[in-house]
Amino acid sequence: MKKQNRRAQILALVVLTFVLIQSAVAQTKTNTNTQKRAAGLPSWTWPAKLDAVAAAPKNHQIVYEDNNIRVLQVICPPGNEEPVHTHRYKSTMWFTHSAHFIYYNYVKDKNGRLVKKDSTEVNGFPAEALNKGQAVDRECPHSIKNMGTDTLMAYRVEYKKNLKN
């Protein structure tokens, strides 16, 4: 497990270094609204209280954050269901530890309350899929319930700005 954690840390550092180099090129603006317009990000209608770190802090730990990116460690212990949350930014995500889980999507009902819409059951990932980054779009309200006996763990680099080549 130590070797796997070490590989995950090295991969996180490589991705983080790449992102930081890309971010350093971007011009920093002081006004948040100007930053969002300059970044070319579409509007986001979900409230800040549903942000992963605010809504599910036991499952989403900030590893690093600046004006351009936020790196999260995502942990879901066996039997745990994350509180409903969102991810407003596109990201790169990779799983370091797999588990059997259910991914739930939520929508607002006629009274404005969030209710489960549908779900996808994932019976873990094969070993060759671990520690490989994948692009993830913004995520509307959702949660994950760990149905297995192993802790589900991933890292996520969220891009607060659209990066240019």
Question: In the structure, what pLDDT confidence band is assigned to residue 11 with cuts at 50, 70 and 90?
Answer: very low
**Residues linked to residue 107 through DSSP beta bridges, in sequence order:** 115
Nearest CA among 100, 85, 99 for reference residue 138: 85
**The pLDDT value given to residue 9:** 45
- The mean pLDDT value of the chain amounts to 82
Question: In the structure, what pLDDT confidence band is assigned to residue 41 with cuts at 50, 70 and 90?
Answer: low
- Cα dihedral sign for 6, 124, 59, 14? positive
DSSP secondary-structure letter at 125? Answer: -
Summary count for the chain: helices (H), strands (E): 3, 9
- 3-class DSSP state of 155: strand
- Give this prediction's pTM: 0.74
**Residues linked to residue 75 through DSSP beta bridges, in sequence order:** 153
**CATH 3.30.1360.40 describes domain 2-27+45-159:** no
* Spatial distance between the Cα atoms of 53 and 146, rounded to a whole number of angstroms: 18
Break the chain into its structural domains and give their ranges: 2-27+45-159
**The pLDDT value given to residue 93:** 97
Model pLDDT for residues 102-143, shown as the tens digit of each residue: 999 999 999 999 999 999 999 999 999 999 999 999 999 999
* Spatial distance between the Cα atoms of 94 and 157, rounded to a whole number of angstroms: 9
**The pLDDT value given to residue 17:** 35
DSSP secondary-structure letter at 89? Answer: S
Is 75:120 a contact under the CB 8 Å cutoff? no
**The pLDDT value given to residue 34:** 38
The label of the residue with tokens 């130590």 reads 2
The lowest-confidence range among 1-10, 64-73, 114-123 is: 1-10
- Cα–Cα–Cα angle for 105, 48, 160, rounded to 5 degrees: 90
